[in-house]
């Protein structure tokens, strides 16, 4: 078993990481020390700034992850503001912003960037999941915007899926796939 230290305060992300990496032989431990989430123009920059802060505090290799929901009809909003918008407007507020937007105009995508800090070197792994914003909240699982996001190829929201189903399609699951590939082969990432 190899241990991966995941710096996150989000128990939903932690549970997904464990569901994904546990069966592959990785023990994911949580570091709750946190880092300031600086407002940046891209997920990559937020993740890099996070690594800078955590590297001064932790004396071991670690990962952290930054994610966001990008809605086409809202010109990519909430994007890097997703955490703030989820806290303030929530899923209901997002649905209100989309009021009157027809089925064919509700495309959106989730993106996740995993930053891996390994012996002083930084590697980034990005996963994207395309889908659409539903017209109502559905399901009791997951976290954040899961009840209003339906991935392409499915009729269910992420909140209606179990963790393994979400991981198979999700931005985070795809970013973790690349991370695991890197750990196995020492390749990819940027």
Residues that bind ligand IMP (CB under 6 A): 10, 37, 66-69, 82-83, 86, 110, 142-146, 158, 170, 172
Nearer to ligand IMP, 125 or 158 (CB): 158
Angle (nearest 5°) at CA 39 between 78 and 122: 105
Nearer to ligand IMP, 10 or 30 (CB): 10
Minimum distance, C-beta of residue 182 to ligand IMP, in the bound complex (Å):
20
Of 179, 162, 35, nearest in space to 112 by CA:
179
Minimum distance, C-beta of residue 81 to ligand IMP, in the bound complex (Å):
9
Q: In what order do the strands lie in the sheet with 26-31?
A: 26-31, 2-7, 62-71, 107-118, 121-133, 149-151
Nearest-CB residue to ligand IMP?
Answer: 144
171 and 152 in contact (C-beta within 8 Å)?
Answer: no
Catalytic residues, which ones? Answer: 66
Minimum distance, C-beta of residue 1 to ligand IMP, in the bound complex (Å):
25
Q: How far is CA 152 from CA 27, 84, 143, 149, 157, in A?
A: 31, 25, 19, 10, 10
Nearer to ligand IMP, 4 or 148 (CB): 148
């Amino acid at each position: 078993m190899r241990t991966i230290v995941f710096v996150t305060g989000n128990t939903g992300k932690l549970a997904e990481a464990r569901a994904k990496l546990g069966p592959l032989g990785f023990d994911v431990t949580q570091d709750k020390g946190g880092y300031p989430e600086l407002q940046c123009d891209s997920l990559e920059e937020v993740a890099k700034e996070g690594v800078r802060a955590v590297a001064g505090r932790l004396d071991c290799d670690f990962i952290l992850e930054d994610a966001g929901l990008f809605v086409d009809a809202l010109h990519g909003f909430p994007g890097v503001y997703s955490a703030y918008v989820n806290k303030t407007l929530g899923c209901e507020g997002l649905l209100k912003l989309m009021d009157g937007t027809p089925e064919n105009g509700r495309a959106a995508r989730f993106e996740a960037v995993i930053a891996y800090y390994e012996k002083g070197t930084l590697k980034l792994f990005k996963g994207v999941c395309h889908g659409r914003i539903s017209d109502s909240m559905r399901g009791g699982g997951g976290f954040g915007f899961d009840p209003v996001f339906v991935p392409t190829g499915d009729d269910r929201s992420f909140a209606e899926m179990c963790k393994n189903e979400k991981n198979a399609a999700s931005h985070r699951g795809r970013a973790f796939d690349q991370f695991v590939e890197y750990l196995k082969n020492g390749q990819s990432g940027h």
